[in-house]
Structure 1
Amino acid sequence: MDASSLMVGAVQAQPAPGKVAQNAIAAARLARVGAEMGAQVVVLPELFLPAYHPPALYADPLGTAVQADESGRVADGRLDPLRSSGVVTIVGASVSHPDGRRTCSSLVVDRAGEISVAYDKQHLWGPDENALFTPGTRGATLIVDGWRFGLGICYDGCFPEHGRAAAGDDVDGYLVPSGYLDGSQHRRDLYYAARALDNTMYVAFANAVGGEKPWIFNGGAAIYDPQGRCLTRGDDESETVVVATMEKDELDRTRAAHTMLLDRHVDLGGARRQLTA
């Protein structure tokens, strides 16, 4: 494929709590599955490397994290299986930074096998995340083969402003590793379709699946087109990789027909009228 199109894969799978090396092997296997299906970018779930399992994260904060250097590079040998997958891979991790921060982050593995911290989750969800992690302070845009992708993690995608900030950096798509618990299927399927339509951009949503109570996740990995239509979605229970092709022509057609990004009034503030009926 040339730069006019890009195939992206989104993964749903069940990692083992606290087992970073084991989960890196699984992540590499799933990335290769996506590559074999034609994907040039593969997105795995939030915190996939340690698993989204707060008891394990509390019990072993150092062992469940990977260490980043000052430049954001990660040299952890446990992740070596990911270096040979041959496809750009986005995978969730707990990251220890040189300044002492611990973040819920997305790592990017490039085709050469270099691993770096790409984005730190800005909106932390619930008491466990807020106790375990420091929120990120800035957004991130990843460029792959001329395609521009805004990066988010799970709860970030619940805020229209987060997707809009990505769109403000002229992105073509939004890549969102996530961890949605069973019972949240309605919100899971609504938020990311809405972010796609709000901003006339593609969205790839990855999610964990399975687990033990109360940490049971609901799959539904999906890719949405720029009108919020679901191109592909996994079920609620099985490990799978879904793939879809993103097309620049479709982006152009959608943005020509639906001009919200151009028509939006940036400043809707000022004193609001108060009316009584």
Structure 2
Amino acid sequence: MDGGPGGLLRPALVAGGRVTAAHPAGRAPLRVAAAQVTAIPGDLAGNARTAARSIAEAADRGVHLVVFPELSLCGYDVGLLRDDIARCAVEAGGDPLDIVAEACRTHRVVAVVGGCRRRADGWAIGALVIGADGRPAAAYDKRHLDRDERELFVPGRADCLVEVRGWRLGLGVCYDASFPEHARALALAGADAYLCPSAFTTGDSDHRRGVYFPARALENTCYVLFANFAGSHGNWEFAGRSAVYAPDGRVLADAGTGPGLAVADLDDAVLRRHRDALRMLTDRAAPAPPPAAVPVPAG
């Protein structure tokens, strides 16, 4: 929310530092979708079937990659997670993930779904990447946890960058996007887009949602894909507004507040044009030492 073991699902690592080499020219566009779904807390099989239907709908619209909200397979219900977190576990080879995997394989679509991952040191909020062949390809564990989440989960220890059809895609989960350095590190590692499964609610959280995601796109001149829940569950009313943002922060597609898909193309020519014009990644100053406060006389 705003604020180890696992079968075949292993983190994919990236290294920080300098901007990586540019991609070869002429990549084909990558059509992506943010799937805005409702969820039933604890009904992993039912939520997986909902995801499978969204994958099928996305495939009918020519989509190559679908991203679902944070903890999409179990729902974001803190009470349920406190009472029986093991019920919300998602493992490679488990039935709920198999349902999603079969949809990916049938429709030749990559999916990013959310679930609780069991690790040697505790539970993590995971974003699980399923390839178009139906096989688990990578996993990312949310690195920034809010106060409630720290009571239940351990933070991830590594960033994750995957490549789909020649496009490098960095993963974050919800609260990660509140920290500009998270998306920036992925952009410097070569990410063309920042994918962020989320669980933003109505009210103040929705205000922050409207600030964070276009800002992450603009300051890193990268595409941003934000996937949120529709409707309510677990005593939360979710804000929806799943969207795809262009590298200048403008909205390319918005799912509104009900269930649906926000679909847009990641276009190489558009990305290059924005990065040629908006050079924040290459014009960054070297880090400066922390300043000392200078006393200023005041009347």
Question: Partners of 1:170 and 1:108 in 2: how far apart?
Answer: 18
Could you tell me how far 1:213 is from its partner in structure 2?
A: 6.7
Question: Partners of 1:25 and 1:84 in 2: how far apart?
Answer: 10
Counterpart of 1:16 (choices 40, 46, 50) is: 40
User: Is the strand fraction higher in 1 or 2?
Assistant: 1
Given that residues 33 and 263 in structure 2 are in contact (C-alpha distance below 8 angstroms), is that contact kept between their aligned partners in structure 1?
yes
Could you tell me how far 1:4 is from its partner in structure 2?
A: 2.9
Partner of residue 88, structure 2: 64
Count how many residue pairs are aligned between Structure 1 and Structure 2.
Answer: 267
Counterpart of 1:251 (choices 257, 271, 281) is: 271
Distance 1:39 1:118, change over 3 A: same
Counterpart of 2:181 (choices 161, 166, 177) is: 161
Aligned pairs for 1:1-277 within 5 A: 3-67=27-91, 74-85=92-103, 86-97=108-119, 99-127=120-148, 129-183=149-203, 184-212=205-233, 214-236=235-257, 238-272=258-292, 274-277=294-297
Question: Partners of 1:80 and 1:104 in 2: how far apart?
Answer: 19
Question: Partners of 2:177 and 2:64 in 1: how far apart?
Answer: 23
Could you tell me how far 1:214 is from its partner in structure 2?
A: 3.1
SS at match of 1:21: helix
After TM superposition, the structure 1 stretch with the greater mean CA deviation from structure 2, 146-155 or 212-221, is 212-221
SS at match of 1:219: coil
Q: Percent identity?
A: 39
Given that residues 234 and 242 in structure 1 are in contact (C-alpha distance below 8 angstroms), is that contact kept between their aligned partners in structure 2?
yes
Superposition RMSD on alpha carbons, in Å?
1.5
The one-character-per-residue Cα deviations of 1:23-62 (angstroms, maximum 9, x if unpaired) are 1111111122112111100000000011001111122211
4+ runs deviating over 3 angstroms = 270-273
Partner of residue 71, structure 1: none
Distance 1:59 1:244, change over 3 A: same
Distance 1:78 1:4, change over 3 A: closer
Question: Partners of 2:269 and 2:187 in 1: how far apart?
Answer: 17
Question: Partners of 1:16 and 1:116 in 2: how far apart?
Answer: 26
Question: Partners of 1:270 and 1:130 in 2: how far apart?
Answer: 29
The one-character-per-residue Cα deviations of 1:71-119 (angstroms, maximum 9, x if unpaired) are xxx111232221122210001111112x142100100110111125510
Given that residues 39 and 233 in structure 2 are in contact (C-alpha distance below 8 angstroms), is that contact kept between their aligned partners in structure 1?
no
Question: Partners of 1:275 and 1:163 in 2: how far apart?
Answer: 35
Under a length normalisation based on structure 2, what TM-score does the superposition of the two structures give?
0.86
Letter in 1 for 2:102: S
Given that residues 50 and 57 in structure 1 are in contact (C-alpha distance below 8 angstroms), is that contact kept between their aligned partners in structure 2?
no
Could you tell me how far 1:270 is from its partner in structure 2?
A: 4.0
Given that residues 8 and 246 in structure 1 are in contact (C-alpha distance below 8 angstroms), is that contact kept between their aligned partners in structure 2?
yes
Distance 1:266 1:20, change over 3 A: farther
Given that residues 110 and 131 in structure 2 are in contact (C-alpha distance below 8 angstroms), is that contact kept between their aligned partners in structure 1?
yes
Partner of residue 12, structure 2: none
Given that residues 69 and 114 in structure 2 are in contact (C-alpha distance below 8 angstroms), is that contact kept between their aligned partners in structure 1?
yes
Letter in 2 for 1:109: I
SS at match of 1:242: strand
Gaps of 5+ in 2: 1-25
Could you tell me how far 1:168 is from its partner in structure 2?
A: 1.1
Using CA pairs under 8 Å that are at least 6 residues apart, name the structure with larger relative contact order, 1 or 2. 2
Question: Partners of 2:286 and 2:176 in 1: how far apart?
Answer: 21
Under a length normalisation based on structure 1, what TM-score does the superposition of the two structures give?
0.92
Partner of residue 70, structure 1: none
